[in-house]
Structure 1
Amino acid sequence: MTAEQVHDAERDAIITALRPVVDGIVATFGPLCEVVLHDYRQPEKSVVAVAGSVTGRAVGGAMSEIGMRVLARGDEAADDLNYLTRTGAGKLVKSSTMVLRDSTGAVFGALCVNVDITAVNEAHTLLGALAGLGAATAEPPVTAFGNDIDSVVDAILDAHRLGRNQTWAGLDRTERLDLFRGLDEHGVFAVRRAIEQVAARLGISRASAYSYLSQARAATDPTPAGGHT
């Protein structure tokens, strides 16, 4: 076996070992809990096990935009624990994303726990109002969840400038670079075929999309001119 085959066998073993953990966590915490096991070696169908139904995920579904950001960060990705987000349907969700690594430290997947706290938050707000506590909290961001990668990429794109009744033709060069930079920071271009999908949505050629992406990345490169990488 090659070294890569050995590592893949190890990753497969880790995934297999975690499958019963998915069911066990949901059995412990009940119907408001969802656990999703991702294998990022196949991002278009990264969901390999799921229990509970908070975000509507299904086995064979794609990663969310959170997964895309992990994929974009590669082996530098870290666990993200106890963060708040909202689904497109308006559910308030408390989540934790724990990256999976093989023995070399390479990130290849994630175990995600999502808890629907919508009712808890509503009760908290009501009790706070009754007690005269009116402190406002920041609104959690909406996260794109979907069972196919195209819908997730489209949702992220819509959340940027083109989702605000602005056309590609109406953006100046700086705004276009900002759009590509924002999509890149969300990990969109870490997914295979995403550049073609974005180009089609914008009505530009694939070559133009690659050019804007390259320029956006160059503008954020911290290496000074003439420096060494």
Structure 2
Amino acid sequence: MAAQHPEAERDAIVAALTPVVHGIAATFGPVCEVVLHDYRRPEQSVVAVAGSVTGRTVGGAMSEIGMRVLARGDEAADELNYLTRTGTGQLVKSSTMVLRDSTGVVFGALCVNVDAGAAQQAQLLLGALAGTPADPDPPAPVTTFGNDIDAVVDALVDTHRHTTWAALDRAGRLALFRSLDEHGVFAVRRAVELVATRLGISRASAYSYLSQARATTDQAPEGDHS
């Protein structure tokens, strides 16, 4: 039997998992959201969604978690039972399971998000009734879940930039671009332009800094005061 074309195989995997998305969400009820991502189109990676915890919709963009998977490429591993917060402060427990074809190439992910805030409130209530003080948990990191890739890139830039662009020295600027690159930001189409706009620099400067950040030996752009 002839081997199936890789793209056809990936399409078949996505099609097979689509009813699974709805089955999992139906099993766990309104506190659960299941999202199927196809990373072959990062800006519109959501191909199926059931439930509403993070507000994802079909055709929406990946989050920074997806960008992190992209950055790791075929070395990416499943991330299970981690806590995060949405931009509105909602506590979410999530699992991200990468999708691979038969050759081991990572091309998507199946994500399960559970409204952990509801469970936490129930736990606090039961603890109060039992007279048992609740141990405070360390704060969960904030994750931007957005259907617009521009908003996700903007949030990542703000997360990794701890001061204004003008206040950064050469090393700090290169470190910023290196960190964004390591988190998969530049795997997204138009990401360089989006980052440049967010930083208030020219697109040419952004490409130059990205190139230098990726190079073994860095050399600051001559005469660049963007």
TM-score exceeds 0.5: yes
Name the CA distance, whole Å, in 1 between partners of 2:154 and 2:4: 34
Distance 1:72 1:5, change over 3 A: farther
Which secondary structure state, in structure 2, belongs to the residue aligned with residue 211 of structure 1?
helix
- Of stretches 55-64 and 131-140 in structure 1, the one that deviates more from structure 2 is 131-140
User: How does the TM-score come out when normalised to structure 1?
Assistant: 0.87
Name the CA distance, whole Å, in 2 between partners of 1:202 and 1:174: 16
Which secondary structure state, in structure 2, belongs to the residue aligned with residue 30 of structure 1?
helix
Match of 1:135 in 2: 135
Matched residue type, 1:199: A
User: Structure 2 residue aligned with 1:181, among 178, 188, 195?
Assistant: 178
- Of stretches 31-40 and 172-181 in structure 1, the one that deviates more from structure 2 is 172-181
Indicate yes or no: 2:14 matched with 1:15: yes
Name the CA distance, whole Å, in 2 between partners of 1:76 and 1:116: 29
Distance 1:216 1:4, change over 3 A: farther
Which secondary structure state, in structure 2, belongs to the residue aligned with residue 69 of structure 1?
helix
Distance 1:40 1:175, change over 3 A: same
Identical residues among aligned pairs (%): 76
Distance 1:128 1:179, change over 3 A: farther
Match of 2:224 in 1: none
Match of 1:160 in 2: 160
Indicate yes or no: 2:190 matched with 1:193: yes
Matched residue type, 1:32: V
Q: 1:55-97 deviations in whole A, cap 9, x for unaligned? A: 1000000111100111111111110000000011111000000
State how 1:88-127 maps to structure 2 within 5 Å.
88-127=87-126
Match of 1:146 in 2: 146
Which secondary structure state, in structure 1, belongs to the residue aligned with residue 60 of structure 2?
coil
Q: 1:90-149 deviations in whole A, cap 9, x for unaligned? A: 110000000000010000110000000102113334555664545332111000111111
Give the Å deviation of 1:220: 10
User: Structure 2 residue aligned with 1:213, among 210, 214, 224?
Assistant: 210
Match of 2:66 in 1: 67
Name the CA distance, whole Å, in 1 between partners of 2:154 and 2:191: 10
Match of 2:42 in 1: 43
Which secondary structure state, in structure 1, belongs to the residue aligned with residue 53 of structure 2?
coil
Name the CA distance, whole Å, in 2 between partners of 1:116 and 1:19: 21
Name the CA distance, whole Å, in 1 between partners of 2:102 and 2:87: 36
Distance 1:219 1:121, change over 3 A: farther
Match of 2:83 in 1: 84
Give the Å deviation of 1:16: 0.5
Distance 1:4 1:218, change over 3 A: farther
Name the CA distance, whole Å, in 2 between partners of 1:138 and 1:219: 37
How many residue pairs align between the two structures? 216
Computed over aligned residues only, the root mean square deviation of the Cα atoms, in angstroms, reads 2.3
Distance 1:210 1:7, change over 3 A: same
Give the Å deviation of 1:216: 2.7
Match of 1:224 in 2: none
In the TM superposition, structure 1's runs of 4+ consecutive aligned residues that sit over 4 Å from their partners are 126-130
